[in-house]
Amino acid sequence: MIDSDSLFTSTGGTGVTKDRLLDAAERLFAEHGFQATSLRHITADAGVNLAAVNYHFQSKESLILAVLIRKLEPINRRRLELLDELEARQRDSAPSLEGVLRAFLQPVLEAKAAGMELATFPRLLGRIYTEPGAWIEKLIPKVFGEVMGRFKTAFAAALPGAEPVEVAWGIHFAIGSMAHFLAAGKLLELISQGAADESDSAGTLERLVVFTASGMRAMVLRTKEAAG
């Protein structure tokens, strides 16, 4: 259905039309959502022909993914940077679990604080995960492959003695807490009756790190005790 390769090929030279499309699409998606934004709106806004979408991208869904991947790339690069710094700072010992979590979570919260419409991303991924076709399984490794590999190792090192499968569960739950915060900020407002400030990035990061670090440690400890 979607040629996943085309999503990653650089524009090479000028690539005016393609970039104009991505820019217009990004702006309109953030403002009105995916479904409410028609390809005709996008192409009119970009000043290009409707058919250009099907030339540069194959489908609307592919265009959405291209927009998201373009936004996600710097976040993942920053994650790897922070992990590099963390590992360089403590060459002898293993990095702390809190440090690894901070390297993983901070770039996302920074991007949200910078005004990026990240709420759309978990939504789209969530929709895609369970959609028939399952081409996402080849896409995710390409976008998150390096990040996931590096961080899995780092998490395992920060949780000595943990079974790899339990580390995976922990990462999954941690991503869930983060993704839900990004996607459903309004729910936090409802639960806390307006008392919680979701725009407080530093506070959110701290809470996420404390919550997930403690959760992961407890899960690992549980299985270690059950085994021993």
Partner DNA sequence: GTCTATACGATGATAGAC
Partner DNA sequence: GTCTATCATCGTATAGAC
Summarize as ranges the residues that interact with DNA (CB under 7 A).
Answer: 12-13, 16-18, 37-41, 48-56, 58-61
Helices (H), the chain: 16-32, 39-46, 51-56, 60-89, 97-113, 120-129, 136-158, 164-183, 185-192, 201-227
Cβ distance 53 to 39 under 8 Å? yes
Q: Which does 8 bind (CB under 5 to 8 A by kind): DNA, a second copy, none?
A: none
Of a second copy, DNA, none, which one does residue 136 interact with (CB within 5 to 8 Å by kind)? a second copy
Cα 101 to the center of its chain, rounded Å: 14
- Which member of 92, 130, 160, 199 binds a second copy (CB under 8 A)? 130
Residue for token pair 């005016």: 16
Between the alpha carbon of residue 199 and those of residues 19, 54, 82, 140, 203, the distances in Å are 30, 38, 22, 28, 9
Write down the least CB distance from residue 87 to a second copy, Å. 20
By CB under 8 A, tell whether 216 contacts a second copy. Answer: yes
Q: Which residues sit at the interface with a second copy, rule CB under 8 A?
A: 32-33, 36, 119-120, 122-123, 125-127, 129-132, 134, 136-137, 140-141, 148, 152, 164-166, 168-181, 183-188, 190-193, 195-196, 206-208, 210-219, 222
